[in-house]
Amino acid sequence: MSRRPGNPARRLADGGSLPFVGSMHSKSRSSPILSVALLVVGAILLIGYCYSGSGGRISDREALSKAEGGASCTLEIQRSIPILKKAYGDSMRKVLHVGPDTCSAVSSLLKEEDTEAWGVEPYDLDDASANCKSLVRKGLVRMADIKFPLPYRAKSFSLVVVSDALDYLSPKYLNKTLPELARVSADGIVIFSGHPGQQRVKGAEMSKFGRPAKFRSSSWWTRYFVQIGLQENEPAIKKFEQASLKKSYKPACQVFHLQSSD
């Protein structure tokens, strides 16, 4: 844990901590504007520190992704929530998110009016924040291996949203996982997947996910959906594109909309 940053304004009040303060006092009284500026900077630092310790903190996985130049599709979901609500309307009332860092996605969804949300973390919760642990205690987030049947009844959720998770599965396991996601959804599945060429963390991949991510093209996914008998949700695709255009929203990840199982 990093140490709490000191308050620049207090150090100034104590005197002598900032090297240039003494020389300024020898010439003239410190400018009121400078004092106010230092107070503002100190306040910003304190607010940032407090926020980083709350539910809005950046997780270790998120930080690794940013450091390596990768794109987190779970973060992209949080950006796209207004667009998803336009595209799916009432289908956003009961949402299941599946993917790494699911606590952040669930927390964002729960802030939306008339939306209930649950999450499945496919890998681990070892570095979970206090907010995430609270979601686990409430039964809103659970860890489960998505290569096996999900612990939910058919059509338990109106919408299932998946991010980052499928990029780490081979076709052998995709054959089991995607139909299972379709089984537990009533109104559709939304998949956020990385673009070919995007980076992911290297060392962390093997320890957490067992294999490096494999980013497939949109044409590969389209052929695969047909192969396993899942149909694309054309009305949702059209509404999502229209809402994206209106909001000038450009997804950093590929987004696919699928129909649920009959």
Give the per-residue pLDDT at 90.
Answer: 93
Integer-rounded Cα radius of gyration of the chain: 23
Backbone angles phi, psi at 84, to 5 degrees: -60, -40
DSSP assignment of 143-170? E--TTS--SS-TT-BSEEEEESSGGG--
Residue 21: its pLDDT value, please? 39
Which pLDDT does position 32 carry in this prediction? 67
DSSP code string of 202-255 = SHHHHHHHSS---PPPHHHHHHHHHHTTPPB-HHHHHHHHHHHHHHT---SSEE
Two tokens, residue 229? 């008998």
H helix or E strand, kind and range, residue 66: helix 60-67
Q: Give residue 126's pLDDT.
A: 73
Output the six-digit token pair for 40.
């503002």
For 206, residues 6+ apart whose C-beta sits below 8 A from its C-beta are 212
Extract the tokens encoding 183: 């089984």
Q: Which two tokens stand for residue 47?
A: 């607010």
User: In this predicted structure, which of 124-128, 132-136, 156-160 has the lowest mean pLDDT?
Assistant: 124-128
Domains and CATH numbers, the chain: 76-260 (3.40.50.150)
pLDDT tier at 58 (50, 70, 90 boundaries)? very low
Residue 135 has what pLDDT? Answer: 96
- Neighbour-count burial for 61-82, b at 16+ CB within 10 Å, e otherwise: bbebbeeeebbbbbbbbeebbe
**pLDDT per residue over 171-228, tens digit each?**
999 999 999 999 999 999 999 999 987 655 444 444 455 567 888 999 999 999 999 9
pLDDT digits (tens, 9 = 90+) for 240-256: 999 999 999 999 999 99
Residues in a beta bridge with 163: 192
Cα separation, 125 vs 118, whole angstroms: 15
pLDDT band at 128 (very low <50, low <70, confident <90, very high): confident
